[in-house]
Amino acid sequence: MDGTTSVEALACGTPVIGTDIPSFSEKNHLTFRWGDGVDLGRKLEEFYEHQARFKKKALADAETWDIRATIEKLLGIYETLA
């Protein structure tokens, strides 16, 4: 998960929820199976029951984000496409 919006949310202590796509779920945030509303509901319940824990994890994860690593990933993609 390297999206700027997600990192900004994490830096504010706001947990991020999204589908279980590889780039997102690798950080083990609140992920749900794409198209599965029941699973989404369960994840939202989990969040509301443990808000303090998710906020703490969000802040910790934001600190591990590194722009240099993101730049390297993007360069690799561009080099592959060129």
pLDDT digits (tens, 9 = 90+) for 57-77: 888 888 877 778 778 888 999
User: What is the rounded distance in angstroms from the CA atom of residue 25 to the CA atom of residue 18?
Assistant: 8
pLDDT digits (tens, 9 = 90+) for 16-47: 888 877 665 455 578 888 899 999 999 999 99
pLDDT band at 2 (very low <50, low <70, confident <90, very high): low
pTM, rounded to two decimals: 0.62
pLDDT band at 1 (very low <50, low <70, confident <90, very high): very low
